[in-house]
């Protein structure tokens, strides 16, 4: 029942993204330059809330645009109604709906759907990860030097030691391809599917990574924070890899050489 409602909400939100993709919609700015929110982010969120509330009126909901509906429940839905809003607003089809479900403080289920590529990723704790119902697995690449990586940059520049541009520059100077898709949930799912060998980002919110991180782990990958600790979506940094290159990439992100 929980999974059914998760899929229903994810599909309904993705249908709204698709419906509005060729229409005019309003775009406004949140704090910072180019931190956008569109009318469609709100519409997507509305339909997700409606479906959850109809089925589970007492569940806790945390969602990017509406904040938290705090309720005393062991179930918590963590929602990004559109991950990759800047892409969506520019009609770039790399964006998705991302919904994770936490039970008693642990993410147990996740779904990420990009309706433009028709790719529906999902995972359930200890039951594996799938792409359009077919099982997926992380890559087998053995080193960072042989890897194809992906990263993301926060809306506001992070001026810190070993910050996003420093790590990016170090990898690029050594000839390691590092892509920037503009959707953290897609980045994570594409690591899970073995398209990328690793992903790192310095500053994410829980709704960006809640579903994708479980999908990577269930696809056999490894996910930690930027210090190598067990991943917690309520802190900002993330490294998600095929597991084999994890320690190497972690060392690079912490300031080591490629
Ligand atoms: C953003 C995307 C992007 C990442 C940013 C996120 P949004 O989410 O996931 O890839 O680099 O940190 O905020 O704003 O499109 O939902
Ligand atoms: Ca996001
Ligand atoms: Ca978003």
- CATH number of domain containing 201: 3.40.190.80
Q: In testing the pocket of ligand 1, which one of 36, 64, 84 has its CB within 8 Å of the most ligand atoms?
A: 84
Q: What pLDDT does 215 receive?
A: 98
119 with 196, same domain: the answer is no
Domain boundary among 101, 135, 169: 135
217 domain residue, yes or no: yes
Domain boundary among 109, 135, 161: 135
Average pLDDT for residues 6-14, to the nearest whole number? 98
Number of domains in the chain: 2
Residues of the chain above pLDDT 70, percent: 100
180 with 63, same domain: the answer is no
Q: Which residue has the higher pLDDT, 69 or 19?
A: 19
| Beta sheet of 67-69, edge-to-edge order | 67-69, 60-63, 75-83, 96-103, 106-114, 119-124, 129-131, 134-135
Average pLDDT for residues 49-72, to the nearest whole number? 94
113 domain residue, yes or no: yes
Q: What pLDDT does 31 receive?
A: 75
Q: What pLDDT does 157 receive?
A: 83
Q: Residue 32: is its pLDDT beyond 90?
A: no
Average pLDDT for residues 116-134, to the nearest whole number? 98
In degrees and rounded to multiples of 5, residue 41 shows phi and psi of -55, -45
152 with 244, same domain: the answer is yes
CATH code at position 46: 3.30.540.10
Region class of 168: left (phi > 0), else alpha (psi between -120 and 50), else beta: alpha
As to burial, measured by CB atoms within 10 angstroms (0-12 exposed, 13-18 middle, 19+ buried), residue 228 is middle
117 with 16, same domain: the answer is yes
234 with 125, same domain: the answer is no
Q: In testing the pocket of ligand 1, which one of 28, 183, 200, 210 has its CB within 8 Å of the most ligand atoms?
A: 183
97 domain residue, yes or no: yes
61 domain residue, yes or no: yes
Pocket-forming residues, ligand 1, beta carbon under 6 Å: 80, 83-85, 152-154, 182-184, 201, 204, 208
Q: Residue 73: is its pLDDT beyond 90?
A: yes
Distance (Å) from CA 208 to ligand 1 centroid: 7
Domain residues for 28? 2-135
114 with 153, same domain: the answer is no
Domain boundary among 96, 111, 135: 135
Q: What pLDDT does 34 receive?
A: 77
Q: What pLDDT does 156 receive?
A: 84
What does the mean pLDDT of the chain come to? Answer: 96
45 domain residue, yes or no: yes
Q: What pLDDT does 158 receive?
A: 85
Contact, 130 vs 121, CB < 8 A?
Answer: yes
76 domain residue, yes or no: yes
258 domain residue, yes or no: no
Which of 27-36, 205-214, 246-255 comes out lowest in average pLDDT?
Answer: 27-36
Distance (Å) from CA 28 to ligand 3 centroid: 13
119 with 184, same domain: the answer is no
155 with 131, same domain: the answer is no
131 with 151, same domain: the answer is no
126 domain residue, yes or no: yes
Average pLDDT for residues 183-195, to the nearest whole number? 98
């Amino acid at each position: 029942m929980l999974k059914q409602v998760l899929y229903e909400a994810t599909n309904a939100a993705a249908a709204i993204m698709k419906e509005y993709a060729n229409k005019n919609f309003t775009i406004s700015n949140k704090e910072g330059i180019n931190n956008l929110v569109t009318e469609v982010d709100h519409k997507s969120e509305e339909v997700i809330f409606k479906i959850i509330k109809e089925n589970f009126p007492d569940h806790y909901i945390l969602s990017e645009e509406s904040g938290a509906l705090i309720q005393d429940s062991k179930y918590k839905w963590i929602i990004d109604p559109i991950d990759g809003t800047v892409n969506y607003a520019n009609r770039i089809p790399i964006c998705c709906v991302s919904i994770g479900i936490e039970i008693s403080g642990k993410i147990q289920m996740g779904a990420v759907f990009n309706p433009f590529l028709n790719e529906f990723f999902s995972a359930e704790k200890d039951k594996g990860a799938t792409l359009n119902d077919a099982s997926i697995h992380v890559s087998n690449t053995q080193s960072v030097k042989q890897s194809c990586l992906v990263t993301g940059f926060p809306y506001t520049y992070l001026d810190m030691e070993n910050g996003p541009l420093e790590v990016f520059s170090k990898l690029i100077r050594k000839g390691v391809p590092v892509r920037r898709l503009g959707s953290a949930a897609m980045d994570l799912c594409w690591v899970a599917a073995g398209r990328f060998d690793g992903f790192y980002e310095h500053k994410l919110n829980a709704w960006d990574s809640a579903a994708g991180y479980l999908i990577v782990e269930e696809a056999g990958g490894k996910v930690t924070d930027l210090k190598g600790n067990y991943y917690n979506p309520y802190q900002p940094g993330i490294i998600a890899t095929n597991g084999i290159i994890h320690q190497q990439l972690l060392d690079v992100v912490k300031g080591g050489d490629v």
